[in-house]
Every structure is written in structure tokens, then in C-alpha cells.
């Protein structure tokens, strides 16, 4: 295998920046660059340290230019240059690297040109899972959202025409044209209430009240559509993540897809740091645990037993004895799947084979603990 022509440090940087996620260093550079851009707009700071501010901005720009060049090089090597350059990430990277130099080369005043560094802040968007989820929601719910937008524009236009008809004679300066009346309609529909344009005729105020109520309804529809779809997307993502964890647990490996789906809907996931207490001896038992990743230590009389990935514990309190029989804590960073008592009983009733397997393991452990 041919050796990489790049130095090890640069090769590692290429590998890091070629990934979809943004490195912590890039986040730090972005924050410093945007802070320097803000300082550039403060006259006192500019007069006192404009040289340092420009030096910091140039350093951040150099970083983003190098990052963009490396990502382009990596995309070319993988024969994905066109896909990268035309993607959202590629366009943001290109704007981050070229917007300010192009503006400076075009003769734009430096303090104004450096305002284009706002593009650096856009680089956080691909790394925020919630924003990607929101984009999927916007795509899935495009038609309902567009329908509400049409309703919003319809109320906006009709309200503007009505107020123009009722108010333009008594307030020609503010309602003299329909475009002028539209400013009032936008402020009223969004319930901003600036108060700079107010109807004074009785009918005009009646129309204003209807527009206000319509605005509440329109934005309520938008909020309901987005909230419902966002919650559905969140449940979908959580289901897929839990499915992946459940399928990795050997105890569930022999289950069919329908059973795994049934189990996945009942389990919840918790992440615990090292040396975190999961179960305390003598406490009532209301759930059992499956180890998706990590390890736990069971503190038994005279000995300690460690359970690794794929094992389960806490079932003995659910099968008979309601009190926990041992202290259990994590030995390292662990991801556990939790099955509550009610769901445990439902699952055991639906899947007798699973119930027998858990009962057999509980009996084996009880015998082992007595010896």
C-alpha cells in the first residue's frame, strides 16, 4: 500500500474535515471569528485594537480557506467533487472561504466586507441534528404548511383592501394605498402591535379585530403542524436508535422483526457515566435493564460479578421478590435499555418464550448466588 504523501498531522486533519461532522476546532474558530466581526462594528474597540481584530479575522479566514481546500481535495479523490460543491455544506464552505476575499477584491470598505463573515456561523447547521430533523419536517409537511401560508396571504390581502376602503379617506397618510395598508395588516396578523398605524373608524376596528383573531388561528395552525410532525420525527428517530441497540443485544438476537419492534416500543434508553449506581439493595424493583454497551458490577455477598454488553439484570425483583437483592453500578460509560414493570408483564404475556428465557436465567443466577 502506497504511503500517504501528506504529513501525519495534515493527513489526520484531512480525515477529520472530510467527515460530515464539524470538528471542535472549527467551532472554536467560528466563534472567535464572529466575535471579532462584532468587535469590528464597535467604534471604541476598532479604534483601540483594529490591528489585532483584523489579524484574528485573517487567521480565521485562512483556516476556513484551508478547510475548504482540503474538503475539495478529498471530494475529488473520492470522485464526488460535483456532489460536494453543489451540496448545502459545500456552498456554505465556499461562501465561508471566498465571500470576504471577493468583497475586498471588489473594493468594498473593509469593515463592511468583513460583515460577510456571518457565513461562518452557517457552518454549525450541518452539525445540529435538530435542524436536520426540522428540514425533514418542512419537506414532509410542505403541502399543509403551504396551505396555511396561502390562508395567511389571503387574510393579509383581504384585510388590507378592507382597511384601505374604510380608512383611506380619514387617514390618507397611513391608509392611502393598499401597500401602506399591508404594513398594518402584517403587524396586526403577527400580533406585534407596534401601534404606529391604528384604524379609527368603527368598521375599521371591527375588521382589525377579525384580522387579529385570524392571525392567532393561522399561527396556531402552523405551530400545530410543525410541533406534531417534529414530535413524530423525534419518535421515529428514537425508535430507529432503540431498534439498533435492541438488535445488538444477544438476548434479543433470536427474536423476529415483529417481536423486536414490540420490544423497541417498550424500552427506553439511558446513558450513565462510570461508577453510577443503577440499583440499590433493598429498594423496590420496578424495572429491569439490558446492557446495550458498557459494563456493570453486581455487589454480591462475598464476591462481585461483572456483566457486560448483551447481559440483563434487575429481573429477579420483577419475577417474585419485589425488593432488590444487590447493589449494581456501572464500571465505565454505559448505555442501558430499561423495561418498566408494566411493560415487562405485557411483554411476558405476549411472548412466552421470552418469559421462559428470562425466568430460566433468573433461576440460574439465584442458584449461583447461593453457592
pLDDT of res. 18: 46
pLDDT band at 30 (very low <50, low <70, confident <90, very high): confident
According to the per-residue pLDDT averaged within each range, which of 54-63, 123-132, 234-243 is highest?
54-63
Comparing CA positions, the residue from 178, 293, 288 lying closest to residue 242 is 293
| Measured distance CA(90)–CA(331) in Å, rounded | 42
pLDDT band at 8 (very low <50, low <70, confident <90, very high): low
pLDDT of res. 5: 46
- DSSP one-letter string for 301-360: TTEEEEE-TT-EE--HHHHT--B--SEEEESSSEEEEEEEHHHHHHHHHH-HHHHHHHHH
| Residue 38 predicted with pLDDT over 50 | yes
Comparing CA positions, the residue from 239, 269, 237 lying closest to residue 132 is 237
| Measured distance CA(99)–CA(94) in Å, rounded | 8
Q: What are phi and psi of 114, to 5 degrees?
A: -70, -10
pLDDT of 187-225, one tens digit each?
888 877 666 778 889 998 999 889 989 988 999 999 999
- What's the Cα-to-Cα distance from 369 to each of 154, 170, 299, rounded to whole Å? 74, 91, 11
Q: How many CB atoms lie within 10 A of CB 108?
A: 15
In three-state secondary structure terms, 2 is: coil
pLDDT of res. 346: 81
| Residue 281 predicted with pLDDT over 90 | no
| Residue 21 predicted with pLDDT over 60 | no
Amino acid at each position: 500500500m502506497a504511503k500517504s504523501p501528506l504529513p501525519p498531522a495534515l493527513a489526520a486533519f484531512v480525515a477529520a474535515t472530510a467527515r460530515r461532522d464539524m470538528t471542535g476546532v472549527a467551532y472554536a474558530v467560528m466563534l472567535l471569528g464572529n466575535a471579532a466581526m462584532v468587535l469590528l462594528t464597535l467604534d471604541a474597540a476598532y479604534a483601540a485594537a483594529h490591528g489585532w481584530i483584523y489579524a484574528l479575522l485573517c487567521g480565521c479566514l485562512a483556516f476556513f480557506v484551508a478547510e475548504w481546500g482540503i474538503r475539495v481535495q478529498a471530494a475529488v479523490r473520492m470522485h464526488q467533487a460535483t456532489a460536494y460543491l453543489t451540496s448545502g455544506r459545500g456552498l456554505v464552505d465556499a461562501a465561508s472561504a471566498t465571500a470576504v476575499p471577493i468583497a475586498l477584491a471588489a473594493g468594498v470598505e473593509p469593515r463592511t466586507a468583513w460583515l460577510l463573515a456571518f457565513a461562518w456561523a452557517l457552518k454549525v447547521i450541518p452539525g445540529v441534528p435538530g435542524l436536520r430533523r426540522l428540514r425533514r419536517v418542512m419537506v414532509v409537511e410542505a403541502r399543509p404548511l403551504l396551505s396555511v401560508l396561502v390562508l395567511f396571504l389571503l387574510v393579509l390581502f383581504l384585510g388590507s383592501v378592507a382597511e384601505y376602503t374604510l380608512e383611506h379617506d380619514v387617514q390618507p397618510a397611513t391608509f392611502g394605498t393598499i401597500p401602506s395598508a399591508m404594513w398594518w395588516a402584517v403587524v396586526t396578523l403577527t400580533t406585534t402591535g407596534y401601534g404606529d398605524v391604528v384604524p379609527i373608524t368603527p368598521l375599521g376596528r371591527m375588521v382589525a379585530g377579525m384580522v387579529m383573531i385570524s392571525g392567532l388561528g393561522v399561527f396556531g395552525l402552523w405551530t400545530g403542524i410543525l410541533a406534531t410532525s417534529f414530535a413524530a420525527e423525534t419518535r421515529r428517530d428514537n425508535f430507529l436508535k432503540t431498534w439498533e441497540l435492541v438488535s445488538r443485544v444477544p438476548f434479543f438476537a433470536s427474536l423476529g422483526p415483529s417481536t423486536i419492534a414490540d420490544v423497541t416500543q417498550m424500552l427506553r434508553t439511558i446513558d450513565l457515566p462510570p461508577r453510577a449506581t443503577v440499583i440499590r439493595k433493598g429498594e423496590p424493583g420496578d424495572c429491569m435493564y439490558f446492557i446495550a454497551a458498557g459494563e456493570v458490577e453486581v455487589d454480591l455477598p462475598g464476591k462481585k460479578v461483572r456483566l457486560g454488553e448483551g447481559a440483563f439484570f434487575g429481573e429477579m425483583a420483577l419475577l417474585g421478590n419485589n425488593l432488590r437483592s444487590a447493589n449494581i453500578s456501572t464500571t465505565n460509560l454505559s448505555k442501558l435499555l430499561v423495561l418498566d414493570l408494566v411493560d415487562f408483564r405485557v411483554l411476558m404475556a405476549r411472548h412466552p418464550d421470552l418469559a421462559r428465557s428470562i425466568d430460566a436465567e433468573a433461576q440460574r443466577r439465584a442458584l449461583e448466588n447461593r453457592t
